[in-house]
């Protein structure tokens, strides 16, 4: 059985999903050194939570992101080395039909990382398309915890109703849910403002992790209404969102100038002020420095209120993850 231990989590983490998405489009060996530098910079500045997933990697789904993160962890020697917290997500693939398949997946992640997983998370709920599969997968997570293979269990893309159901199921085995990860930003307030997830998490003692806190880069100020948008599917999304988010972007810029910060830092800090753990992705040292600059200070209550008001008034919001449940 799993011995009682507390999983320490920082106020901000680094989401390696950004690395994974890049790798899905074609892995470039030359990126390794750059990503190692990003990892080192984040860790040396107190960002100790690194989030990844077993589905992040090449098109062969071979967990390349986990392998890289394992290499970076092993190579790093410096401040906060003993505080590294590795979180990974296990995909609810349709061919994972038994609890043992999840245990095997967890063991495979540990092998790729070259160390135990601190926080194992169900990548998404199957409630929207195969609810019969979900209980089996959760049992597998509980098995990993009971066997002492992980320190904590988390979920991703769960709404309050499904979260309470999963909490009850795992509690019957004495397995606590440590975290819940959802898409949350100034352009994606739905999980909290409409679903009320923060209150449910607080009541259940669950920490809320905010992924995509910069809304795929829209909240960084890098892209303007009349400027060039990124290629691919993001271009269509940005054309829809950016023209109708000008009031929010202007407010972010105003606060950033007053605080001598960047728009990215204000947007991330807003997530922190909301009591969540944001996990912005970083593929370059510049992006990592931007993220780190969101730490060590707080927006004041009036600034948070103004951002809340404008975000609530927007006609267009970020599209929700298709696996997000209610």
Give the active site residues.
56
Band of residue 58 on the pLDDT scale cut at 50, 70, 90 = low
Band of residue 63 on the pLDDT scale cut at 50, 70, 90 = confident
pTM for this model (two decimals):
0.92
The pLDDT of residue 28 is above 60:
no
The pLDDT of residue 211 is above 50:
yes
- What are the residue boundaries of the structural domains of the chain, listed by start? 13-217+271-297
Cα–Cα distance for residue pair 114/228, rounded to 1 Å: 41
313 CB neighbour count, 10 Å cutoff = 9
Q: Please give the residue that has the higher pLDDT: either 59 or 63.
A: 63
Query: CA-CA distances (angstroms) from residue 325 to 67, 135, 140, 197?
Result: 30, 15, 20, 11
- How does DSSP classify residue 225? T
Which pLDDT score, from 0 to 100, does residue 16 have?
56
Half-sphere exposure of 256 (CA within 13 A, CB side): 20
Name beta bridge partners: 13: 49
Distant-in-sequence, close-in-space partners of 106: CB < 8 Å, separation ≥ 6: 90, 117, 120, 140, 141, 144, 149, 150
pLDDT tens-place string over residues 248-278: 999 999 999 999 999 999 999 999 999 999 9
DSSP-derived 3-state class of residue 41: helix
Cα–Cα distance for residue pair 163/153, rounded to 1 Å: 13
The pLDDT of residue 48 is above 60:
yes
Name beta bridge partners: 87: 51, 119
Band of residue 177 on the pLDDT scale cut at 50, 70, 90 = very high
Which pLDDT score, from 0 to 100, does residue 22 have?
37
Token pair for residue 81? 């080395």
- Taking residues 128-137, report their average pLDDT: 95
Which pLDDT score, from 0 to 100, does residue 18 have?
38
Which pLDDT score, from 0 to 100, does residue 82 have?
92
Distant-in-sequence, close-in-space partners of 146: CB < 8 Å, separation ≥ 6: 1, 2, 173, 175
The pLDDT of residue 167 is above 50:
yes
- Taking residues 310-322, report their average pLDDT: 94
Query: CA-CA distances (angstroms) from residue 122 to 78, 103, 153, 156?
Result: 31, 12, 8, 6
Which pLDDT score, from 0 to 100, does residue 20 have?
37
The pLDDT of residue 8 is above 80:
no
- Taking residues 14-33, report their average pLDDT: 52
The pLDDT of residue 2 is above 60:
no
Which pLDDT score, from 0 to 100, does residue 104 have?
97
Nearest C-alpha neighbor of 214 from the set 247, 240, 238: 238
The pLDDT of residue 105 is above 70:
yes
- Taking residues 237-251, report their average pLDDT: 93
Token pair for residue 305? 């209120």
Range list of β-strands (E), 140-192: 150-156, 177-183
Cα–Cα distance for residue pair 293/47, rounded to 1 Å: 11
Which pLDDT score, from 0 to 100, does residue 234 have?
82
Cα–Cα distance for residue pair 182/215, rounded to 1 Å: 12
Average pLDDT, the chain: 90
Band of residue 288 on the pLDDT scale cut at 50, 70, 90 = very high
Domain 13-217+271-297, CATH 3.20.20.100 — does that match? Answer: yes
Q: With 0-12 CB in 10 A as exposed, 13-18 as middle and 19+ as buried, what is 59? A: exposed
Token pair for residue 321? 């993850």
- Taking residues 54-82, report their average pLDDT: 85
List phi, psi (to 5°) of 53: -160, 155
Band of residue 235 on the pLDDT scale cut at 50, 70, 90 = confident
Cα angle value 160/325/101 (rounded, 5°): 105
Question: What percentage of the chain exceeds 90 in pLDDT?
Answer: 79
Which pLDDT score, from 0 to 100, does residue 90 have?
96
The pLDDT of residue 194 is above 50:
yes
């Amino acid at each position: 059985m799993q011995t009682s231990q507390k999983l320490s989590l920082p106020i901000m983490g680094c989401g390696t999903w950004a690395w994974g998405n890049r790798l899905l489009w074609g892995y470039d060996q030359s990126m390794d050194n750059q990503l190692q530098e990003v990892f080192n910079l984040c860790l040396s500045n107190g960002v100790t939570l690194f989030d990844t997933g077993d589905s992040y990697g090449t098109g062969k789904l071979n967990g390349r992101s986990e392998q890289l993160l394992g290499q970076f962890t092993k190579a790093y020697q410096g401040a906060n080395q003993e505080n590294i917290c590795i979180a990974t997500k296990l995909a609810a693939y349709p061919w994972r039909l038994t609890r043992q398949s999840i245990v095997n997946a967890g063991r495979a992640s540990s092998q790729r990382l070259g160390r135990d997983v601190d926080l194992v998370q169900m990548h998404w709920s199957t409630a929207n398309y195969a609810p019969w599969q979900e209980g089996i997968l959760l049992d597998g997570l509980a098995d990993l915890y009971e066997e002492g293979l992980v320190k904590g269990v988390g979920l991703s893309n769960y709404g309050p109703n499904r979260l309470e159901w999963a909490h009850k199921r795992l509690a019957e085995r004495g397995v606590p849910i440590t975290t819940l990860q959802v898409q949350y930003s100034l352009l994606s307030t739905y999980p909290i403002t409409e679903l009320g997830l923060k209150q449910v998490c607080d009541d259940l003692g669950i920490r809320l992790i905010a992924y995509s806190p910069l809304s795929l880069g829209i909240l960084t100020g890098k892209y303007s209404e009349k400027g060039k948008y990124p290629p691919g599917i993001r271009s269509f999304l940005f054309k829809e969102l950016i023209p109708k988010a000008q009031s929010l972007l202007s407010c972010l810029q105003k606060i950033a100038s007053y605080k001598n910060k960047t728009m990215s830092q204000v947007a991330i800090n807003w997530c922190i002020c909301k009591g969540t753990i944001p996990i912005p992705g970083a593929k370059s040292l510049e992006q990592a420095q931007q993220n780190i600059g969101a730490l060590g200070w707080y927006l004041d209550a009036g600034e948070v209120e103004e951002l809340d008001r404008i975000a609530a008034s927007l006609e267009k919001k970020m599209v929700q993850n298709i696996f997000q449940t209610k």
